[in-house]
């Protein structure tokens, strides 16, 4: 099994997720958007699996700082993908994948329980 966590290392939610996975003894790789960029091929897969609406974090600082015209232009998967490739920080974090399947976007206790169940399966 290949567990992959995508995000930004200084994000508090990503830190919580990584700490939780470490506490579970889960081996995972970390993909840092800031250093490695957003993987465009994976972004297509994420959009197909969970939808662009889930991936675009409209509550975050990056979104709030965008020009209103840019925000208004995010109306479908293609426009959302373009925005996420240009502004990695607008992607809700972390995105946790197991063998290419998105297990979680964001992190909380309920999502953690689902991830744990999949890891133990």
Q: How far apart are CA 87 and CA 2, in angstroms?
A: 26
Contact, 3 vs 25, CB < 8 A?
no
User: Is 111 among the catalytic positions?
Assistant: no
DSSP state of 91: B
Strands (E), the chain: 3-7, 29-32, 95-98, 101-105
Q: How far apart are CA 110 and CA 74, in angstroms?
A: 29
Candidates 3, 11, 21, 96; catalytic one: 11
DSSP state of 73: T
Contact, 103 vs 90, CB < 8 A?
no
CATH number at residue 65: 3.40.30.10
Per-residue pLDDT of the chain (121 residues; tens, 9 = 90+): 689 999 999 999 999 999 999 988 888 999 999 899 999 889 999 999 999 999 999 999 999 999 999 999 999 999 999 999 999 999 999 999 999 999 999 998 777 777 777 777 6
pTM here?
A: 0.89
Quick one: pLDDT at residue 114? 74
Q: How far apart are CA 3 and CA 38, in angstroms?
A: 17
Name 1's Cβ contacts closer than 8 Å, sequence gap at least 6: 98, 99, 119
Q: What's the domain count of the chain?
A: 1
Quick one: pLDDT at residue 113? 75
Q: Which residue segment(s) compose the domain that 71 sits in?
A: 3-120
Residue 79: enclosing H or E segment and its boundaries?
A: helix 77-86
- Of 6, 2, 27, 12, the residue nearest 99 (C-alpha): 2
């Amino acid at each position: 099994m290949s567990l992959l966590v995508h995000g930004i290392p200084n994000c508090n939610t990503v830190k919580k997720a990584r700490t939780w996975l470490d506490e579970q003894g889960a081996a995972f790789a970390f993909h840092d958007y800031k250093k490695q960029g957003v993987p465009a091929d994976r972004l297509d897969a994420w959009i197909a699996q969970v939808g662009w609406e889930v991936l675009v974090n409209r509550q975050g600082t990056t979104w709030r700082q965008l020009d209103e015209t840019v925000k208004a232009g995010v109306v479908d998967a293609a426009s959302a993908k373009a925005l996420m490739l240009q502004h990695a920080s607008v992607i809700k974090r972390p995105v946790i994948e197991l063998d290419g399947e998105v297990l979680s976007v964001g992190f909380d206790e309920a999502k953690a329980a689902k991830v744990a169940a999949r890891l133990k399966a």
